[in-house]
Chains A and B, each alone.
Chain A
């Protein structure tokens, strides 16, 4: 939710205690969900996925400090994640050595993400001083240059980055502040949750500070911000450094979960992924990047096991969001919820159901076409039958293609030419009656 809306809600709520309850309940719900999640998703693969979600949530929220709050489009945010991760990995390896030799205590494992954060902050200060001089396209281009630079360096300076093989460490030969064994992945998951909560609360509160307000001000109207006494470059720079700090924390957590870090952690792909996660969720809402990160990790982790075409679906999802829902999935949900509360759903329920059903049918047809294309183009023997949902089909014959295209066309046609006009009419009549 944007600051404006929160302020208004807070103003409506009135008394102090009520405001606290109103603002706290989402955090409590999130905490309960995070703590209970491993009881439902309990396999090793699932726990690993949950940990990755926690990391990505912190990373995407830190990214949104730039894009959503300050209006800075960065194509290279993984630099601070990755460099934070590498420094954290060196801290972990130093600790491993110290513990194995019995020569020292090293750094407690719980504090290693903080090392990553400080490293992210340091590199944020260095690169931010260069890149935040301008906003807009210039900033975006410089961020692209920096990620290229760092990714190239990661392969060149093998002493620090470990070359293509990356760097390894382990979380067994370490010391814990609380005497916890972190060899089990579930313990690491809870460490991730704890850090993710600290980071998320901090980033949430930051939006309500003078710097957070002026970040919004600089995003919306840099000129006016200057004429109330603020140096816009300084606001962008500070916001950038803080964002890099939280990205570094995410990098530190990544090291603890994966026990390995390679050049992928500083690269273009991860930089793009965090942009997708924040955008799909919705950059205008604090919750947006959280939902986006969870969804992206889930798709990456599970869809890739089901379908070879998962990246294609991912791309289609992103394009769909950019084109039809620029406020993101949380934005749509929020809009629909407001609509529902103001009675906009009354009398249109049937039409809405019809729209959804038609869209799902079109989606089904689309999936069939994509899957058959992949099978036809990539299988060593296309005439071998492939399993498509419930039936086996032979993609070298025309029938399954015709049926799939028919399903797709029927769904899309019904949606565009029948369901949507019907919804509009229903909304008009319902609006007219009020």
Chain B
């Protein structure tokens, strides 16, 4: 294959006690593709994200990021290797302003690390990049508002901003449009399309409109197993998916 796999999961399993939540997932995500994972509630989509991002350890199997194994690594190390994620529940620094949140996301990637001998506000490259990001996110007018006081849609946009800010090549977005109105969701989808032009996107989404609009390929996760992984058209036509997802008998 000419395109390298950005992320590849082989035989990934996760048990909580005796309960098998993820049951041997094999999944290859190509570089620069937009890959959406769908599936009914409780299928294990968020758990899968937690496993990939290092928030939880896998019980068995291996996860590779650009060919390097990342299973069992702590989240900050996974992040430094080029993977970043957002959460289903908004997860920001609520007391910091929009600008400060973005700066925090940029600091490590721009090599400032644990420095205590330079001032953040003197790092003009960081400020500039944060301002650029802010423009992309349409949050310029909210520059100095604490993140905790932004509207829900703005918080989600900011979270996408922090996710891409950390310089990641692979983005995991966990239901970025959950709880949004139609227009808000459309704006966010447009934003995602823009910011993921040259990186790999893996996204969990419930809204099928969004899914078919954005995805290059779709994986369907049901009871901890991938039952289909194909282009949107093929998935739409897949009988097993229809049965699992819509719960209808196929005649």
Taking a contact as CB atoms under 8 Å apart, the answer to whether B114 and A214 are in contact is yes
User: A157 to chain B: closest CB distance in Å?
Assistant: 33
Taking a contact as CB atoms under 8 Å apart, the answer to whether B114 and A238 are in contact is yes
Q: Mark B96-132, 1 if CB is under 8 A from A, else 0.
A: 1101100111011100111111111100000000000
Among A172-180, A216-224, A268-276, which stretch is in contact with chain B? A216-224
Contact A220/B95 with A4-B146, A229-B80, A230-B76 known, Cβ cut-off 8 Å: yes
For the complex, is B200 an interface residue (Cβ under 8 Å from A)? no
Q: Which residues of B contact A10 (CB under 8 A)?
A: 121
Contact A209/B116 with A8-B144, A229-B166 known, Cβ cut-off 8 Å: yes
For the complex, is A213 an interface residue (Cβ under 8 Å from B)? yes
Taking a contact as CB atoms under 8 Å apart, the answer to whether B114 and A224 are in contact is no
Q: Which residues of A contact B95 (CB under 8 A)?
A: 2, 4, 216, 220
Nearest B residue to A229 by beta-carbon distance? B108
Find B103's partner among A2, A4, A213, A238 (CB 8 Å cutoff): A213
- How many CB-defined contacts (below 8 Å) exist between A and B? 110
Taking a contact as CB atoms under 8 Å apart, the answer to whether B74 and A217 are in contact is no
For the complex, is A211 an interface residue (Cβ under 8 Å from B)? yes
Taking a contact as CB atoms under 8 Å apart, the answer to whether A234 and B114 are in contact is yes
Q: Which residues of B contact A210 (CB under 8 A)?
A: 107, 112-116, 118, 120
Separation of A234 and B99 alpha carbons in the complex (Å):
24
Interface range on chain B (Cβ under 8 Å from partner)? 35 or more
Taking a contact as CB atoms under 8 Å apart, the answer to whether A226 and B146 are in contact is no
For the complex, is A424 an interface residue (Cβ under 8 Å from B)? no
User: B173 to chain A: closest CB distance in Å?
Assistant: 12
For the complex, is A390 an interface residue (Cβ under 8 Å from B)? no
Q: What is A's interface to B at a CB cutoff of 8 Å?
A: 2-4, 7-8, 10-11, 205-206, 208-214, 216-217, 220-221, 223-232, 234-235, 238, 242
Q: Which residues of B contact A206 (CB under 8 A)?
A: 116
Interface of chain A: mostly helix, strand, loop or mixed: helix
Q: Which residues of A contact B85 (CB under 8 A)?
A: 227
Among B15-23, B62-70, B86-94, B213-221, which stretch is in contact with chain A? B86-94
Q: What is B's interface to A at a CB cutoff of 8 Å?
A: 53, 55, 74-76, 79-80, 84-85, 91-97, 99-100, 103-105, 107-109, 112-121, 143-144, 146, 162-163, 165-166
Q: Which residues of B contact A238 (CB under 8 A)?
A: 114, 116
Q: Which residues of B contact A7 (CB under 8 A)?
A: 97, 99-100, 121, 144
A-B pairs with beta carbons under 8 Å apart, 13 shown: A3-B100, A4-B97, A4-B100, A7-B97, A7-B144, A205-B119, A209-B118, A213-B120, A226-B75, A227-B76, A227-B85, A229-B166, A231-B74
Nearest B residue to A11 by beta-carbon distance? B144
Contact A211/B116 with A216-B95, A228-B165 known, Cβ cut-off 8 Å: yes
